[in-house]
Amino acid sequence: MPRGRYSLHDPHDHALLGEEHFHCAPGPSGWRYVSQLTGPDGGHRGSVDLAVDELGRPIRVELALAGWQVRGAAIDGVTWVRSDPAGAEAAEGNAPAAAFTGTSPAFLVATARLLRPAEGAAATRVRLVALTDPVLAPRTVDQAWQLAGSSVHDTDSGPLVVDEYRVTALDTGEVHSVHIAGDVVLSAPGVELEHLETPPSAFPA
Protein backbone atom coordinates (compact mmCIF):
# COMPACT_ATOMS: atom_id res chain seq x y z
CA MET A 1 0.00 0.00 0.00
CA PRO A 2 1.80 3.15 -1.18
CA ARG A 3 1.82 6.02 1.28
CA GLY A 4 3.28 9.39 0.53
CA ARG A 5 2.92 13.10 0.05
CA TYR A 6 2.31 15.29 -2.97
CA SER A 7 2.87 19.03 -3.15
CA LEU A 8 0.18 20.88 -5.11
CA HIS A 9 0.93 24.08 -7.01
CA ASP A 10 -0.95 26.49 -9.20
CA PRO A 11 -0.02 25.20 -12.69
CA HIS A 12 0.21 28.76 -14.04
CA ASP A 13 2.18 30.79 -11.47
CA HIS A 14 3.51 27.76 -9.50
CA ALA A 15 2.32 29.18 -6.17
CA LEU A 16 2.11 26.51 -3.46
CA LEU A 17 -1.49 25.50 -2.78
CA GLY A 18 -0.68 22.92 -0.12
CA GLU A 19 0.05 19.23 0.26
CA GLU A 20 -1.84 15.98 -0.12
CA HIS A 21 -0.99 13.13 2.27
CA PHE A 22 -2.26 9.92 0.71
CA HIS A 23 -2.41 6.16 0.77
CA CYS A 24 -3.85 3.92 -1.93
CA ALA A 25 -4.09 0.28 -2.91
CA PRO A 26 -5.60 -1.99 -5.55
CA GLY A 27 -7.95 -4.70 -4.38
CA PRO A 28 -10.10 -7.51 -5.76
CA SER A 29 -12.83 -5.07 -6.81
CA GLY A 30 -10.71 -2.18 -8.06
CA TRP A 31 -8.61 0.60 -6.49
CA ARG A 32 -9.07 3.00 -3.59
CA TYR A 33 -7.31 6.26 -2.78
CA VAL A 34 -7.67 8.24 0.46
CA SER A 35 -5.96 11.51 1.31
CA GLN A 36 -5.94 14.52 3.62
CA LEU A 37 -5.29 18.00 2.23
CA THR A 38 -3.34 20.70 4.03
CA GLY A 39 -2.79 24.34 3.11
CA PRO A 40 0.53 26.18 2.79
CA ASP A 41 0.35 26.90 6.53
CA GLY A 42 -0.09 23.21 7.34
CA GLY A 43 -3.71 23.59 8.37
CA HIS A 44 -6.36 21.08 7.31
CA ARG A 45 -8.06 21.95 3.98
CA GLY A 46 -10.11 18.90 3.10
CA SER A 47 -10.07 15.26 2.06
CA VAL A 48 -10.37 12.89 -0.89
CA ASP A 49 -11.85 9.40 -0.93
CA LEU A 50 -12.01 7.79 -4.38
CA ALA A 51 -12.86 4.21 -5.22
CA VAL A 52 -12.96 2.82 -8.76
CA ASP A 53 -13.91 -0.63 -10.00
CA GLU A 54 -11.62 -2.96 -11.94
CA LEU A 55 -12.46 -1.10 -15.17
CA GLY A 56 -11.58 2.28 -13.68
CA ARG A 57 -15.18 3.52 -13.29
CA PRO A 58 -15.86 5.61 -10.17
CA ILE A 59 -18.01 3.65 -7.75
CA ARG A 60 -17.60 6.22 -4.96
CA VAL A 61 -16.23 9.76 -4.86
CA GLU A 62 -16.27 11.80 -1.66
CA LEU A 63 -14.54 15.17 -1.62
CA ALA A 64 -14.46 17.82 1.09
CA LEU A 65 -12.89 21.24 0.62
CA ALA A 66 -13.41 24.64 2.22
CA GLY A 67 -16.54 23.33 3.91
CA TRP A 68 -18.06 22.11 0.64
CA GLN A 69 -18.73 18.42 0.07
CA VAL A 70 -19.39 16.35 -3.05
CA ARG A 71 -20.45 12.73 -3.20
CA GLY A 72 -20.78 10.98 -6.53
CA ALA A 73 -20.55 7.82 -8.59
CA ALA A 74 -20.91 6.49 -12.13
CA ILE A 75 -24.70 6.31 -12.42
CA ASP A 76 -26.36 7.22 -15.75
CA GLY A 77 -23.09 8.85 -16.77
CA VAL A 78 -21.91 10.42 -13.53
CA THR A 79 -24.19 11.66 -10.77
CA TRP A 80 -23.26 13.73 -7.74
CA VAL A 81 -24.65 15.67 -4.79
CA ARG A 82 -22.93 18.91 -3.75
CA SER A 83 -23.58 20.37 -0.31
CA ASP A 84 -22.95 23.93 0.83
CA PRO A 85 -20.78 24.78 3.88
CA ALA A 86 -23.79 25.49 6.08
CA GLY A 87 -25.44 22.21 5.13
CA ALA A 88 -28.68 24.08 4.48
CA GLU A 89 -29.23 22.63 1.06
CA ALA A 90 -27.84 20.08 -1.36
CA ALA A 91 -27.88 20.18 -5.15
CA GLU A 92 -27.88 17.05 -7.29
CA GLY A 93 -26.24 16.97 -10.70
CA ASN A 94 -25.81 14.55 -13.57
CA ALA A 95 -23.78 14.62 -16.79
CA PRO A 96 -23.17 12.21 -19.68
CA ALA A 97 -19.51 11.81 -18.69
CA ALA A 98 -17.26 8.83 -18.03
CA ALA A 99 -15.77 9.87 -14.69
CA PHE A 100 -14.72 12.73 -12.44
CA THR A 101 -11.52 14.76 -12.36
CA GLY A 102 -10.03 17.47 -10.14
CA THR A 103 -6.80 18.74 -8.65
CA SER A 104 -6.07 15.53 -6.73
CA PRO A 105 -3.51 13.23 -8.43
CA ALA A 106 -5.93 10.39 -7.70
CA PHE A 107 -8.04 11.43 -10.68
CA LEU A 108 -5.07 11.17 -13.05
CA VAL A 109 -4.42 7.58 -11.99
CA ALA A 110 -8.12 6.75 -12.25
CA THR A 111 -8.47 8.26 -15.74
CA ALA A 112 -5.38 6.43 -17.00
CA ARG A 113 -6.83 3.22 -15.57
CA LEU A 114 -10.21 3.91 -17.19
CA LEU A 115 -8.82 4.60 -20.67
CA ARG A 116 -5.73 2.34 -20.76
CA PRO A 117 -4.45 3.77 -24.05
CA ALA A 118 -1.98 1.60 -25.95
CA GLU A 119 1.41 2.97 -26.91
CA GLY A 120 1.39 4.15 -30.51
CA ALA A 121 -2.40 4.27 -30.68
CA ALA A 122 -4.38 7.40 -31.50
CA ALA A 123 -5.44 9.59 -28.60
CA THR A 124 -8.56 8.51 -26.73
CA ARG A 125 -11.18 11.17 -26.13
CA VAL A 126 -13.00 11.28 -22.79
CA ARG A 127 -15.59 13.55 -21.19
CA LEU A 128 -15.11 14.21 -17.47
CA VAL A 129 -16.78 16.27 -14.76
CA ALA A 130 -14.13 18.45 -13.13
CA LEU A 131 -14.74 19.35 -9.48
CA THR A 132 -12.84 22.62 -9.29
CA ASP A 133 -11.14 24.30 -6.34
CA PRO A 134 -11.92 25.90 -4.02
CA VAL A 135 -15.68 25.24 -3.86
CA LEU A 136 -15.89 21.94 -5.78
CA ALA A 137 -17.98 23.49 -8.55
CA PRO A 138 -18.74 20.88 -11.26
CA ARG A 139 -17.67 21.66 -14.83
CA THR A 140 -17.75 19.31 -17.84
CA VAL A 141 -14.45 19.05 -19.71
CA ASP A 142 -13.29 17.08 -22.75
CA GLN A 143 -9.77 15.64 -22.88
CA ALA A 144 -7.73 13.41 -25.15
CA TRP A 145 -5.25 10.95 -23.61
CA GLN A 146 -2.39 9.31 -25.48
CA LEU A 147 0.35 7.01 -24.15
CA ALA A 148 3.49 8.73 -25.37
CA GLY A 149 5.84 6.02 -24.12
CA SER A 150 7.02 3.86 -21.22
CA SER A 151 10.42 3.60 -19.60
CA VAL A 152 11.94 1.25 -17.03
CA HIS A 153 14.00 2.59 -14.13
CA ASP A 154 16.10 0.51 -11.74
CA THR A 155 15.26 1.07 -8.07
CA ASP A 156 16.20 -0.57 -4.77
CA SER A 157 12.90 -2.49 -4.85
CA GLY A 158 13.25 -3.62 -8.47
CA PRO A 159 12.40 -2.26 -11.94
CA LEU A 160 9.91 0.60 -12.01
CA VAL A 161 7.84 1.13 -15.15
CA VAL A 162 6.93 4.78 -15.77
CA ASP A 163 4.23 5.65 -18.31
CA GLU A 164 4.17 9.09 -19.92
CA TYR A 165 0.74 10.28 -21.03
CA ARG A 166 0.13 13.25 -23.30
CA VAL A 167 -3.10 14.92 -22.21
CA THR A 168 -4.83 17.51 -24.38
CA ALA A 169 -7.55 19.86 -23.17
CA LEU A 170 -9.87 19.87 -26.17
CA ASP A 171 -11.44 23.24 -25.39
CA THR A 172 -8.11 25.12 -25.42
CA GLY A 173 -5.74 22.76 -27.24
CA GLU A 174 -3.33 22.94 -24.29
CA VAL A 175 -1.12 19.83 -24.06
CA HIS A 176 0.71 18.61 -20.98
CA SER A 177 2.49 15.47 -19.82
CA VAL A 178 1.59 13.20 -16.91
CA HIS A 179 4.06 10.60 -15.59
CA ILE A 180 2.55 7.67 -13.68
CA ALA A 181 4.18 4.59 -12.15
CA GLY A 182 1.62 1.99 -11.11
CA ASP A 183 -0.88 3.88 -8.94
CA VAL A 184 1.37 6.85 -8.11
CA VAL A 185 1.74 10.09 -10.08
CA LEU A 186 5.40 11.04 -10.33
CA SER A 187 4.79 14.42 -11.94
CA ALA A 188 2.04 16.39 -13.64
CA PRO A 189 1.12 20.05 -14.03
CA GLY A 190 0.73 21.40 -10.50
CA VAL A 191 1.70 18.06 -8.91
CA GLU A 192 5.03 16.88 -7.52
CA LEU A 193 5.63 13.66 -5.59
CA GLU A 194 7.61 14.77 -2.54
CA HIS A 195 7.78 11.57 -0.49
CA LEU A 196 6.87 7.90 -0.99
CA GLU A 197 7.23 5.37 1.83
CA THR A 198 6.61 2.24 -0.23
CA PRO A 199 6.82 1.48 -3.97
CA PRO A 200 3.80 1.99 -6.22
CA SER A 201 1.37 -0.88 -6.56
CA ALA A 202 1.04 -2.57 -9.95
CA PHE A 203 -2.44 -3.04 -11.35
CA PRO A 204 -3.35 -6.57 -12.47
CA ALA A 205 -3.19 -7.07 -16.22
Q: What is the pLDDT of residues 22-74, one digit of tens each?
A: 999 998 789 999 999 999 999 999 999 999 999 999 999 999 998 999 999 99
Of 176, 108, 133, 110, nearest in space to 37 by CA? 133
Residue 53 pLDDT: 95
CB distance 186 to 160 below 8 Å: no
Cα 112 versus chain centre, distance: 9
Instruction: Count CB atoms within 10 A of the CB of residue 25.
Output: 14
Residue 89 has pLDDT above 90, yes or no: no
Tell me the average pLDDT across 169-183: 96
Q: pLDDT at position 71, please?
A: 96
Round to whole Å and give the CA distance between 76 and 129. Answer: 13
Report the pLDDT averaged over residues 107-121.
94
Instruction: State what percent of residues in the chain have pLDDT above 90.
Output: 81
Query: 97, 87, 99, 4: which is closest to 61 by C-alpha?
Result: 99
DSSP state, 105? H
pLDDT (average), residues 161-179: 96
pLDDT of residue 145: 98
CA 92/CA 183 separation, integer angstroms: 30
Question: Does residue 158 surpass a pLDDT of 80?
Answer: no
Whether 128 and 144 have beta carbons less than 8 Å apart is answered as no
Q: What is the DSSP string of 181-197?
A: ETTEEEEETTEEEEEES
Question: In terms of Cα–Cα distance, which of 158, 163, 41 is closest to 109?
Answer: 163
Distance CA 15, CA 24 (A): 26
CA–CA distance, 182 with 88 (Å, rounded to integer):
41
Mean pLDDT computed over every residue of the chain: 93
Residue 85: per-residue pLDDT: 81
